[in-house]
Structure 1
């Protein structure tokens, strides 16, 4: 029992000594860690450097993409304020309201309105209430021109039949007319006389109408709502008519008071007559605001150019060999000469160069104030037309460059480069993780091997100590 106990104690001690590296006198755990780290250090350093490089590339490309997107959206926001557009105005705002049309206007126009377009208004006989039944059958709307007690039908307009069901009320008739798509609206007015059906047509002389009734046999009464001017002209409260006006001495008529196809760059809404007192329509001059906008644009482009030049520096640039950076530089270098208004007349400004944008040999932008001033003096409206949120113009051009840079489907785009660099960085991270796992596996194997070695060294030292003790004992016995 004592021998077993001594053996167990000796074995436990040996294990503790071995784990501490006391058998050989070497810290084998630390040695295993250092050897494993040394084995993978160069490869891990290489991956770390590559990851750092990719991080810088992603950051640089993202910064340039953000700058271009911000520049584009800023131009769009500036344009939407309307400060850069050529806007029409009218001297007598009581006669008409004016707003910018799809084209760009210039010059001035004289406007005299002799009559406004009106719609027909018809008031039907009174009923006790809107819930009063009216009989059933079919109401038919026919359209044309009403003059006095006569009606001249318009063959180009199809009559509209409206079915009135049995038990229908006056309110039901109004609902049916509104749902017919005829262009005639209806409602029930509860006035002093009682409940009366009111009908209102569209503006324009040929939008007059008559109402015919075909009654259901045995459920008569619908004919009470039929109307022609010959039957009872007193029900007619407003006659449909055209608008009549004169622009610069030329007479015009229109079916509506809203006129968008006569003056270039102007949408008109006629609101009153001014017979014998013509008013004037003119256009604003946005020259001052355009000058300020061009100064801001040059500053913004120089900020982009500065960041781009730094990123593409052949010695230290993060994007010095990136195709998307080269594509953006090409777009900026050619920007001043790019035709942003392809439909402009030969004598009108069509490029940013016409607005004074100029690029120097070092890639920076400057504003040619003299050229801008000449353009604004000769063609202020045409210069204003370049500032639009449409597909052409300053915004459209900058927006295309920004979108091309942000695209992730195009080959040479910052968006594609960011996607590519991000994928590479993920791959590098996965490789680094695998190396760390391999390093840990090697460390554990070395720890295991060193433990075995340390045990053997410890055993050898024990044997040597025993032999030395025996020899010392023999020498002592001889003495």
Structure 2
């Protein structure tokens, strides 16, 4: 016993060691269970989060390709991009149009009076809040101006509260002071801004710009628009007006204006770019899926499973994606990806594109390729439908699993807290019991020592 740590005064026993051993033995099974389940839930949560993110990115790319009409095989050009630019969308067709811009759409803009004290000038010097009312197109936006508010604070409040409806305020400062300039993203005739109320800064304001409509002609047919972004003049074509058309003769600024040609033409390069974009987006998703499901080898050559290896949801998603690739689609003679140079790696499932094969097929069958991807039965729409049940934000398969795993971790956290309390109580209880035993042993030893002392004294007297 010489080497034993003694912290029991009466017994000489290692009470601390005994208590620790008993507590550790009691704690170990539950602690192991909590640790194992927590690690599993955490790694699965991380892996599913990566898959969800990759799937969202893939679906977002598909939506952009659909909205941008990436597989139409059409491209739009403008002969003068200083005057107007254009893009093609669904419904566009080959053709060219002559555009002349006579006026740009213009929003309303007004300015408050100049305050000599600058942006920090207090505009509400009273003890109660005042109101600044901004009116536009029959709508009123009331801003409460608290006591002590400065011009800068009013400006910030307008941008914070009304920025989402297109109102914007700025402070302009010169040698005479500061003034607030108010404008709107809503333009066109009838969208005038006005100020009213009792804030003090609503009086004396002046109009800087009066709103006006854009005025332009397409093939000599006149049009007007409240915005410079034209989406309804030519089917499937979006035109952005940037400046008034310059005059044909620079020496005669009031003479006839130069024509800008807006053209929609077939472009195999545009179609190829769309297909490559799809291939890259799909491969990014598949790489994320492979990383979480593949089986690898460790240094000893043993198989090591990934977090989601063999996962039923992952197998189902992979099967759904492959099924859409194997399905024939389109309106022409080209109905499969392999026919125009898209091949699938047998090991990884990743797609590769043979440029030479694509270029050759696209020269004569670009419409077939386009129809394979586009429309309600095209590959883009089918891929969107195939992944819908997995990707929904709150009710999708992965979202539901994420919620369940998060709830499981919360439960395990509570279990851990309860186990910690149990262990602390057990340790305190055992410590008290062993301390009581040690005290009893100390008393018994003291009594023994007293008895032995008495007997020794009697023996000494007898010997004497």
Which category describes the TM-score, using the shorter chain as reference length? 0.5 to 0.7
Matches within 5 A, 1:316-395: 316-320=305-309, 322-337=311-326, 346-347=331-332, 356-369=341-354, 372-380=358-366, 383=369
Go from structure 1 to structure 2 and tell me whether the alpha carbon gap of 1:338 and 1:65 turns closer, same or farther (over 3 Å shift).
farther
Pair member with larger Rg: 1
Match of 1:59, SS state, is helix
Match of 1:336, SS state, is helix
Q: Deviations over 1:199-258 (max 9, x none)?
A: x99x9xxxxxxxxxxxxxxxxxxxxxxxxxxxxxxxxxxxxxx9988xxxxxxxx78589
What is residue 124 of structure 2 aligned with on the other side?
A: none
Task: Decide whether the 8 Å contact of 2:51 with 2:289 is kept in 1.
Answer: no
State the shift of 1:351 in Å.
6.6
State the shift of 1:417 in Å.
1.2
**Mind listing any 5+ residue stretches in structure 2 that lack a counterpart?**
1-5, 102-188, 191-211, 248-255, 298-302
Matches within 5 A, 1:157-168: none
Task: Decide whether the 8 Å contact of 2:71 with 2:275 is kept in 1.
Answer: no
Task: Decide whether the 8 Å contact of 1:58 with 1:421 is kept in 2.
Answer: yes
What is residue 228 of structure 1 aligned with on the other side?
A: none
- Which of 440, 446, 456 in structure 1 is aligned with 2:440? 456
> 2: CA distance between counterparts of 1:94 and 1:48?
64
Q: Deviations over 1:290-325 (max 9, x none)?
A: 354255335424422422433899962322354432
State the shift of 1:43 in Å.
1.4
Q: Does 1:67 align with 2:54?
A: yes
- Which of 400, 416, 421 in structure 1 is aligned with 2:405? 421
Task: Decide whether the 8 Å contact of 1:290 with 1:384 is kept in 2.
Answer: no
RMSD: 5.2
Aligned pairs, number: 328
What is residue 28 of structure 2 aligned with on the other side?
A: 41
Q: Does 1:105 align with 2:93?
A: yes
> 2: CA distance between counterparts of 1:447 and 1:297?
63
Go from structure 1 to structure 2 and tell me whether the alpha carbon gap of 1:308 and 1:351 turns closer, same or farther (over 3 Å shift).
farther
Go from structure 1 to structure 2 and tell me whether the alpha carbon gap of 1:32 and 1:364 turns closer, same or farther (over 3 Å shift).
same
Matches within 5 A, 1:171-190: none
Go from structure 1 to structure 2 and tell me whether the alpha carbon gap of 1:65 and 1:312 turns closer, same or farther (over 3 Å shift).
farther
> 2: CA distance between counterparts of 1:301 and 1:380?
26
What is residue 4 of structure 1 aligned with on the other side?
A: none
> 1: CA distance between counterparts of 2:320 and 2:338?
14
> 1: CA distance between counterparts of 2:426 and 2:62?
60
State the shift of 1:44 in Å.
0.9
Match of 1:334, SS state, is helix
Q: Deviations over 1:437-472 (max 9, x none)?
A: 112111111112112211111111112112222222
Matches within 5 A, 1:63-102: 63-74=50-61, 86-89=74-77, 100=88, 102=90
Task: Decide whether the 8 Å contact of 1:338 with 1:352 is kept in 2.
Answer: no
Q: Does 1:431 align with 2:418?
A: no
Match of 1:52, SS state, is helix
> 1: CA distance between counterparts of 2:51 and 2:295?
9
What is residue 24 of structure 1 aligned with on the other side?
A: 11
What is residue 156 of structure 1 aligned with on the other side?
A: none
Q: Deviations over 1:249-281 (max 9, x none)?
A: xxxxx7858999998655799x99x9xx9x895
> 2: CA distance between counterparts of 1:398 and 1:445?
63
What TM-score comes out, normalization by structure 1 length? 0.53
Task: Decide whether the 8 Å contact of 1:89 with 1:282 is kept in 2.
Answer: yes
> 2: CA distance between counterparts of 1:329 and 1:67?
13
Match of 1:362, SS state, is coil
Q: Does 1:442 align with 2:426?
A: yes
Go from structure 1 to structure 2 and tell me whether the alpha carbon gap of 1:470 and 1:244 turns closer, same or farther (over 3 Å shift).
closer
State the shift of 1:41 in Å.
0.9
Range with greater deviation from structure 2 (437-446 or 288-297):
288-297
Q: Does 1:405 align with 2:390?
A: yes
What TM-score comes out, normalization by structure 2 length? 0.54
Task: Decide whether the 8 Å contact of 1:65 with 1:402 is kept in 2.
Answer: no
Go from structure 1 to structure 2 and tell me whether the alpha carbon gap of 1:95 and 1:362 turns closer, same or farther (over 3 Å shift).
closer
Task: Decide whether the 8 Å contact of 1:301 with 1:365 is kept in 2.
Answer: no
Go from structure 1 to structure 2 and tell me whether the alpha carbon gap of 1:404 and 1:312 turns closer, same or farther (over 3 Å shift).
farther
